[in-house]
A and B are shown apart, each in its own frame.
Chain A
Amino acid sequence: MAEFAGLTPINVVTGFLGSGKTTLLANLLRAPELADTAVLVNEFGEVGLDHDLLRGVAESTLLLDNGCLCCAIRGDLQTALRDLLSQRERGEVPHFRRVVIETSGLADPVPIAYTLLTEPVLQHHFRLGGITTTVDAVNAPAQLRDYPESVKQVAVADRLVLSKTDLSTPDEVAALRRQLRQLNASAPIIEAAMDRPHPAELLTDDMYEAEGRAREIDRWLAAAADQDALDHQHADEIRSFALSYEGPLDWTAFGVWMTMLLHRHGENVLRIKGLLNVAGMPTPLLINGVQHIVHPPSHLAAWPGDDRQSRIIFIVRGIDRARLEASLAAFNGLAAPEDRQAVA
């Protein structure tokens, strides 16, 4: 079985209707680094995508009996990706090393992650790369107020790309940035027109790519450091915060805690990203989860800076931060003292 890091990455480009997903993708696909990318789009929009390997999919989600909306198989993707895989293996399509899925404006990206991690064939060939969410700087405040789909697309993102900032005032853009930072403490916010994002910045760097892994962690730690402590929201709103933990964590106790937390509260834990100081390990372990789904852990070759605290970014709905901290401490305290020691 291939190592998780060796699987073909699948990036998701999502964002509300008219937020510039296709424009962004069209610009990115001109880059030579993305020449060997297969693209699956939900709808062929007005912005034409000129690309060798472009397929349409019809976003059909198969809800499972348990009623958990995030744990749903995307039947269309299952078929499209199996077809692509089989054609790649037979040499019937140009060899691709990456897939980008552009979702519809109302799509929930989480079932894509669930499909990739649980589908019996796909899980051995593909893995989720980053989720990029485009945000329309003019219309986002109203969309975030009125459409929960839009809020979720922002909350689960690895990158937020602002479009139409040239049609907004600097004050409006600054206010929107603050709102986005409340919803997602770890995703860098990139202005499409100003920053002209490089493919590595948006698509190819992630925590499983050896080359971009350290850059990726620097990005989300910087984003988290930039976050205002905005805990004045109502309890039922989505909020994000970085939880720090002094001292090494016992990995087994952490697994007991996190699985129990996601079992009971997974629908309200929209995103987790963590840099963990695990007892007995000289280098940090990386964890990455979306609702009930946790990817296999990865590791960094060295600590970024002198801070050896574990840092876990949570994006949650209605979960109290202090209670989460107390719970983690209690569970880590279950481990034997020798299993909570830092590496010598």
Chain B
Amino acid sequence: MCALCGILGGRRHWTESTGAPEAFASRPEAHTRHRERQTRTRLVNAVLDHYGLRLADWSGGQYVLRGRTGRTALVDNLSELWAEADRLGSRDCDPLDPDLLADLKARGHG
């Protein structure tokens, strides 16, 4: 799996709605980039709990990923995040893993 996959170098990442005003033009409510990043961080952390990892916004430009042992990695976007999460975490991140999905339910998510 390559760290470049899904990254449109120079463009905003495809997941960032605030970087694609044309596609999201019909949304009546204003979504700021800051709010979107906060929401993304919260959602990702609900998943990363399962792997013993934590994500935080880093000055509004990048994210910092931390493992239990204190190892960290800076990532620009979600596509980079999962490769680093594999590296820092205890096991490979897989959204189809029944253990993860059961964990999300048990924690009151999903």
Q: Which of A's residues lie within 8 Å of B, judged by CB?
A: 1, 3-5, 64, 66, 68, 71, 117-118, 120, 123-124, 251-253, 255-266, 278, 280-283, 285, 292-299, 319-320, 323-324, 326-327, 329-336, 339, 343
Contact = CB atoms under 8 A, between A and B. Distances in A.
25 contacts: A120-B10, A124-B10, A251-B17, A252-B39, A255-B14, A256-B78, A259-B6, A259-B81, A260-B95, A262-B79, A263-B1, A278-B27, A281-B26, A282-B28, A285-B23, A292-B1, A293-B5, A294-B14, A297-B23, A299-B22, A319-B96, A330-B104, A330-B110, A334-B109, A335-B39
Contacts of B92: 264
A136 B5 CA distance: 33
Determine the main DSSP class of B at the interface with A: loop
Given A256-B44, A263-B1, A264-B1, 18 more contacts: A1-B10, A71-B2, A251-B15, A251-B24, A256-B47, A256-B78, A259-B6, A259-B81, A259-B82, A263-B82, A265-B94, A295-B14, A296-B8, A298-B22, A323-B98, A327-B101, A330-B110, A334-B104
Nearest to B16: A255
Given A66-B3, A296-B14, A297-B23, A327 B8 contact: no
Contacts of B1: 66, 68, 263-264, 266, 292
A257 B46 CA distance: 12
B32 to A, nearest CB: 13
A242 B82 CA distance: 26
B7 interface: yes
A49 B7 CA distance: 36
B12 to A, nearest CB: 8
A334 B50 CA distance: 14
A334 to B, nearest CB: 5
A147 B43 CA distance: 42
Contacts of B24: 251, 281, 285, 297, 299
The size class of the interface chain B forms with chain A is 35 or more
A262 B5 contact: yes
A327 B99 CA distance: 11
Interface in B84-103: 86, 92-96, 98, 101
Nearest to A255: B15
Contacts of B95: 257, 260-261, 264, 327, 331
A330 B5 contact: no
A299 B104 contact: no
A117 B86 CA distance: 25
B70 interface: no
